[in-house]
Structure formats: structure tokens, C-alpha cells
Structure 1
């Protein structure tokens, strides 16, 4: 069953009315029977529409209202180009700075309120919205475990990350949108029975990188208390864009608004361009893994939000419990085509050389590459076609995410060794989950976005009717995630204790690979992917030059 309901698909009674700092709102009671009923307030504006003169400006407070505002449907998605697979799930608008709150109706056990799980969607910084992650499913699978859930939208792509390379406009506006939403939640969430002193920031893919950046930025790091970067984090090589000004100039040229060296004049002309001209689409097949992956546009170093190298910011930041990981076969999402080469070993040599390149290791590249391949597959033995395909996908997954996940654990433990950091690999997969995409795939396994689907209880890649085992996996995952939101420990306590064969132990400096393999029978494992990501992460950390700000 889908986890998102349309405004008119079924009648739901009105929610309770709440008077926010902007004015009164009313939503729907999406679960309106039984002891655990849940209210949903959707499309709440948390900032003024970023249009006209506010395009490329910092988020501003919304005008207050006095009449009851009906918040009963998701707000418009941000400006983006829809792919054929995504379809047009909802209208788009530059006016998209809204959030959604799903909150239990019953009285919280704690007098301070329910823990708050604040979710930031991914989409390569240029696409997606809160719609896809559901409303009814969030109420059913997360809120019923005694948490308030917030999902937000922010400016996407070039509208969220445009840069002039100087101070004419603020950089990283999308990150400032997220921060503005966090401030609104801190001020208002108590009205929804949420605890402003127990907020967990969760994001997936580019959203995972975003929540990690928010956890260390001096602008936002004091606004929440725990962090869950899923399938992406700031240690991933694609999290900071290497040449955003170059990307913006190219897009401006496509729109016929050239950078004429007067950036204030350039910005004024760009404000006259129709919003849809800024839209971009996410094409995972176009992600370049021949060198460090580079996205269309994204976060950059600046003088305010990311003003120092990331490791310096980590050292300065308050300790936050962390739950971090990704799916078992993240590279599979990049392996839809070209997976039947005549010489698979040559492909492996090419891909490992793109990670451990001669640029970084002019004298030792071959030795390092061979040792990495030894931790992947026995190249001297015969293998089936699928075994070669899995090895090729694994290397792409290493470049895309696996190394970044392991590096994030190392970075956090190096800068803040007392941080409780729980690492996972999401290994469960329903073989029917990929629908018509399945015929393109060399094999089926948990891949990018599989983990978040079982947190929100809504399969976000393709429509899927969950079966009994899927629902069991959802219950396992949501119990662990809500326990982390409540206690900073996925194991939980008392009535919330997770039913695990082995306690989920945090990673340590001595063993940074220990992680929970999440399946119908979760298992704690001491080694992550044959130690390959750890091996490459340590080499690359030493080889990459420091950031020159």
C-alpha cells in the first residue's frame, strides 16, 4: 500500500487547532480510531515565499495570519525537472518553503513532550520533495512509536545553491532554509506536544549530507541534539561541490544571462528569469565516477555556513549521538547499463584506478589498487557472470558511498572520540521492489533509497504493495530509529527495547568497522565489506590535499 494519500482520496476528520507563531492552523486526523490517533498538519509555511526580490535572499519570516489556515495537503514541490520514472506527483513552485508535522494525539509519557524526528529529503540537491516519503505511513509506523515527525521542503538546485563567487548574494541558501525550518520547529514544536530539547535530524542521500553539514555548521549546530545521515554524509566526496561558480555560469549561459563581471547586475537579471528555467533533473547514470563524483550543483565553502575545513568544524561542534550507514549494494543504482563486458577484470582495474588514482599515488598506485581488489574478489579464479557484476557494482558503490560512510565514522571518532556512533548496513531486499526497472538490473539487492523506504514505511523508488516480511522489516527498522531519537541509542530500554540477538554496539577508534547488518535477523558484524572501504578511506585521507580557503 502507498503511504501517501491525496487530499480528497478519503475523508478524514479535522485535527485539533493549534495557534503557531504565525497564526492558527488546522490539519487532518489521519489515524482517527483506536487509542493511538495521529494528527497531520501539512503544507505549513515556515518562511516567506522566496520569490521576486527574495529570490537568492536569505529566508525571511512569513507574514502572520489571523484566520484558521487549512494545512491539509502537502505544499508545492520545489522547482525541478521530472524524469519519466518520477512522474508529476504534485505541482511545482518557487514558493515551496513548507513543512509537515505528524503528531500523536495522546498525552506523552514525558512531561517535556515527544521526541522529534526532523527529516530532510535527498535528491542530489536538485530534486525530490517531502511528498514521496508519505504521510499516512509516517503516522502508522513512526508516530505510533511515540515520536513527532517533521518533514520539510527547501529551495532546490540552482535556486538553492546559486553562487556569484563573491558576497553579492548569500551562498548555500538551501542549507539556510533548512536552518530556518529548524528554528521554526524549536519555537513551535512544543505546541504540537514535541520536545524542543530532544530533536533528531535525519536525512537520506543529499539529505544525509545536509544533516551532517547542519550538525557542524556554526549557524545550525546548536538547534538539535542527534543526527542520522543515511546513504550520504559530509565525508562523501560529492558532498561539497568542487566548482559551483563554474556550474552556475554554465547554467546562466544556457539561460542567456551571461556573467558580465558585475555580479549585482547579473543577479538582478537572473531574478527576472522564469523559475522553471532553473530546474534540473537527477540522472544517476550521469554521475561521473571516473574521478571524485561531482553533482550538478550543491553546497560550497563560504564565509558563514561552511567557513572552515570540515574537520575543524567537527572539532568545534557539540557531541551528538550519530546513526550512520547505507544499503548493502549502493553501487547497484549506478549499474543499470554496461554490465556485460567481455573483460570484467579490465573494468575493475579501471574503476579501482579511478578511486586510488596515480594522481594521488604516483609511485604506489598499482600496489594499492591490487590490494583493494584482493579485498573484493579473487581475480585469479573463475567466477560466474553475476559474481563479476556484483564486484563491479561494489566498486562503484565504494566511490559513491561506502568509502564515505567509513570515512564519516573515522572523521567523527578522530575529532570527537566520545561520540556514540552506530553504523549500519541495510541488507534486506524484497525482490519485487523494482517493478519494471528490475529487467535492467544485473541482480537485485538493497540499494540507494532502500533503507529510507523501511523507515518511513513507503517504498519511494517504485510503487510496491508491502508483504508480511516487509512489514516485519519496517517494524524492526522503525523501532531502532525511534529508539535512537528517544535515547540516542537504537537498542532502547524498557518497553522500547529492541529485540536483537546481539546488542548494537557503537563503533570505536579501535574498531571503526563494527556495524549492524539490518535484515529480518539483524546481526552485529565486526568487519565492513572485507575491510576494503576502511583500507581505501585511510589511503585517501592521507593523499588528498587540505582545503585551501
Structure 2
């Protein structure tokens, strides 16, 4: 039993050989955001008497499940979903201040997912046993998390305020779980990666933690903020027969009467619709939470140590619902070079990027076209954003930035979905399996190589959480990056002189100076020598900075 500021909680205990970890699941960190609290910032939870049983995950946020199996496996959904989970070692920490704290914010396109998918026992066994307290949090999804009228009536970004409220709860309560509130690292993946990066640079939240791990998504990705969200929200209101666009307060009053189920959205629907925005709803620059453009916020924020990266072929998972073609490649490039922003030279710029992706002699080769299409999907989705975030951070702040490309994968991780793919590789969500010890895209049994990757990745991630350095501390021999090489490998941070310096994470990890020089894939080695150098690619983009404005 643990006493928090709001009341006592009791969890359950997991036993692993000679170590034991306590799990407290479904702890409320805010009042239920229902009724009049819908479309409002979260408020602190009501204190309770007695002992609250926290032995199961709280309900997931409102979302549309893709299959009945999803609902059976992950539990019910509810608008009342502001719960967090704390996993804490039972042994005494090595320092009086307590264990380092590692917080995880899930992804899901700002529309779906929950803490449930990432588990409990595996977190306890593979993360907490490395001397960290782990906290997983939930937040409002879809329009419930981001609806805005564009004025002071409803500024939006409620999901970010939810995450900030969770961080405040951690600051106030984590000592009761033997955690150190002065040593908090926040990590997230995909939309969760964009979220934690925003939390690290935005004024309301950036002083509540100390290190950040944005994986496969960050605030510099094009989809991390939405420039036309007010119009999207008005269309949603109109779809629910609400037309008071000139009277924001009336519109919000009526929307509070709409059943929560009407707000359910699905990420899979978005992925399968080639015309849909990747993130139909997302954070917006509202002048209160996100006060300025991302590049400006990144420069003015104090700066904190960062571990950042993505997988070898992020775009591969995006093939669902999309047809590989030369036209498809140019369509993605056009998102980087819009005609209305470059009326005099947009075709020249697009063609220059196009020929960086594919050789002229390969344009009739369907396999090469597919690979080029996967590359541009990944570039638009994450690769350019991660490079931009790394470069801006190392230029603005004297903090270490550990950059990675996760290049290992097990073909079984694709499951039946792999039958629909032209080739297999590490893609969006692959690295999560080696942090949370189970498949995210598809459940599969780990072989010995998977277990090695799990130990390597969790060691590096927890080292970063504890010391701000994935290599650990020099006196701790076990903390050096595991490798099959004879000599231990040191993960070196990116620098202003070499901003693409990164670790290729595989069974034989290597430091590389150029990001995306080759496609790091297990069964995609027959590429006829095609090489996609993101260095050259970014030189084209960097000459036209308004692309990112």
C-alpha cells in the first residue's frame, strides 16, 4: 500500500527470480473530463477515503476499435480515461533521492491506443529491474482531446494539458513510490513522440521533467501540429447537426450533449484512406500551450538531453491503402514543395528531389519504384522531421542528442500483415517490441536474437533515463552498449559538425555519420545499388526554409 496526496492505493506484486516489482494500475490523476469538464483543461482528482484498489488498467480513451478482438483484449473505452500506472521496484534505491523515473506516452495518431497495449509484467521485468520507476499515462483522444473553436471559448490542446497534469502528479507523488522527481525522463512514440517533444519545449510543461525520448515522431514532423484544425472541428460539429459557428459558446454547449461514442475515431481508417490526412486532429498553435512556431520554441526552451530516432523503413507501414507508383512518389514530394508556396519553381524542386530517390534506369522497375515510394513516405512522415529536430537542438543548446536508426527486425513481427507487403524491414513501431518485450504490430515469440536486442535496447534506454547517457557511467561495465564486437561500442552524440552522427541499432550496432545513406533492411539487399542520401536531400530542403513554416 502507498499513500499519495489524494489517498492510499494498493496494487499487486510481480516476482522475477530475486527481484520484485509493484504495479499500481488505474490511478486517477485528474477528475473525469465528462459533463461540464468536457472541452476544459483537466482538474486535480478528488481525494478519496480508505484504500483504492489499483490492480487493473483504467478504461481506454474513446476510440473506434478495428476488431471485436481489440475490444476484448484491451478493455472498454470511456470518456473517463485520465488514469496512469506506476511500476516501482521494491528494493531500496542506490541513492537517497530515489530511482530515476521513466514516463511513457503512447501514440496512435492522436486518435487511438492506450496504456493497456504496452503491458505491465513485461515493463516490470525488463525495465524496472534495471532500477527505474516506470509510469505510463493516458490522455483524451480525437476531438475530445483537441477540439477547438479557434478562440478563447475553446482553445483546444486538452490532450497536452492532460499529459502535463500527469507530469505534475508525478512531481507531487512519485516520491511515495521511491521515484526521484528531479530525475524524470519522458518518452513517447509516433504521436506520443510528437507529444513528449512538445512537452519538452512548451512553457506549461517543459520544467516538469529533465530528459526526453521522442521515437518515430517529434514536434518537427509536419503532422505534429494542425494548421486547419478549426475548419476540421466545424465540420465535425456540422456532422453532428450543430451549426452555431458564429457562437462558440453555444456550439460547445451543444457538443457537450453529444454522446461520447460519437467522438470515436480510428487510426486504421486514416491509414487505409489514401486521401485522408495522416492525423485528422492534432495539436495546434493556440497561443497558450503552444505559444509559437516549433522552431522558435525549440530555440528559446532551456534545452534538455535527448534520445531520438526512428526505424529503418518507417514508410513501409504506410503502404496500407496506398498504391506504389511514380505519381505516388511525386504526390508525396508535392507535400514538401506546395505549388502555392513555390509558384515559379515548384516543378524544378520536386524533380530534383525525385531523382534523389530513384535512378532513371530504375523507373520501369516496379520493385525499385516501391522502395522509392516507401522512402518518400518515411521521409515525409518522420525522417525529415527527426533530422530537423536534431539539427535545431544541437545548434541551439549545449545538450547531448543521441540519435539512432533502429535497423533490426524479426520477419515474424509482421504476422499476416507481411503478406501484403512487398518486402519486410524494421518499420513504424518495431523498436517498441524491444522496449516493452512483446510485439506491437503482431504478437510473436522472441528468439534468442530478439532477446539480445531486448536486453540491448532496454539497457540503453534505462541508462539514458538514469544518467542522461545511454552508455551508462564509466564505472559500470555492464552499462556499455552491448555488442557482438570484441571492443565495447560507445554511442556518440550528434554534434553541430556532424548532426547526422547516429547509432545504427542492430545485433552489431555501428556509429554512422550519414543518416539514411543506405536502406538498412534484412531482406531488401538486392537494390541494384540505389542509395538514398538524406544529406543531399536535406540540402535541397534547407535552401527553402519556408517549407517548414
- C-alpha distance in 2, partners of 1:480/1:369? 39
User: Retained in 2: the 8 A contact 1:165–1:245?
Assistant: yes
* Aligned twin of 1:8: none
* Aligned twin of 1:18: 2
Question: Is 1:140 matched with 2:120?
Answer: no
* Aligned twin of 2:499: 512
* Aligned twin of 1:372: 353
- C-alpha distance in 1, partners of 2:340/2:275? 15
So what's the TM-score if we normalise by structure 2?
0.91
CA displacement at 1:384 relative to structure 2: 5.6
CA separation of 1:66 and 1:350: change in aligned 2, threshold 3 A = closer
Question: Is 1:255 matched with 2:240?
Answer: yes
CA displacement at 1:401 relative to structure 2: 0.9
* Aligned twin of 1:543: 544
Deviations 1:179-218 (A, max 9, x none): 0000000111111111100000100000000001000111
* Aligned twin of 2:382: 401
User: Retained in 2: the 8 A contact 1:41–1:71?
Assistant: yes
User: Retained in 1: the 8 A contact 2:514–2:535?
Assistant: no
CA displacement at 1:319 relative to structure 2: 2.1
Give 1:439's match in structure 2, choosing from 404, 409, 419. 419
SS at match of 1:178: helix
Deviations 1:101-151 (A, max 9, x none): 011111111111111000000111111000001111111111111111000
- C-alpha distance in 1, partners of 2:233/2:327? 36
Question: Is 1:295 matched with 2:260?
Answer: no
User: Retained in 2: the 8 A contact 1:37–1:106?
Assistant: yes
Deviations 1:412-456 (A, max 9, x none): 12322x121111111111111121211111111111111122111
User: Retained in 2: the 8 A contact 1:26–1:72?
Assistant: yes
- C-alpha distance in 1, partners of 2:47/2:539? 52
Question: Where in structure 2 are the equivalents of 1:310-329 lying within 5 Å?
Answer: 310-329=294-313
CA displacement at 1:491 relative to structure 2: 1.1
- C-alpha distance in 2, partners of 1:546/1:49? 40
Question: Is 1:305 matched with 2:306?
Answer: no
Give 1:189's match in structure 2, choosing from 159, 166, 174. 174
So what's the TM-score if we normalise by structure 1?
0.91
User: Retained in 2: the 8 A contact 1:96–1:154?
Assistant: yes
User: Retained in 2: the 8 A contact 1:241–1:294?
Assistant: no
- C-alpha distance in 2, partners of 1:369/1:53? 49
The 10-residue stretch of structure 1 (460-469 or 217-226) with the greater mean CA deviation from structure 2: 460-469
* Aligned twin of 1:54: 37
Deviations 1:441-473 (A, max 9, x none): 111111111112211112111121222211111
- C-alpha distance in 2, partners of 1:242/1:85? 34
- C-alpha distance in 2, partners of 1:62/1:229? 28
Structure 1 unmatched runs, 5+ = 1-16
* Aligned twin of 2:524: none
CA separation of 1:348 and 1:546: change in aligned 2, threshold 3 A = closer
Give RMSD over aligned pairs: 2.2
CA displacement at 1:308 relative to structure 2: 1.5
The 10-residue stretch of structure 1 (524-533 or 35-44) with the greater mean CA deviation from structure 2: 524-533
Deviations 1:281-319 (A, max 9, x none): 1135357689xx652111011121011122222222122
CA separation of 1:372 and 1:532: change in aligned 2, threshold 3 A = farther
Question: Where in structure 2 are the equivalents of 1:405-416 lying within 5 Å?
Answer: 405-416=386-397
CA separation of 1:541 and 1:48: change in aligned 2, threshold 3 A = farther
* Aligned twin of 2:523: none
- C-alpha distance in 1, partners of 2:514/2:548? 31
Question: Is 1:176 matched with 2:157?
Answer: no
Question: Where in structure 2 are the equivalents of 1:192-231 lying within 5 Å?
Answer: 192-231=177-216
Give 1:472's match in structure 2, choosing from 431, 452, 456. 452
CA separation of 1:315 and 1:355: change in aligned 2, threshold 3 A = closer
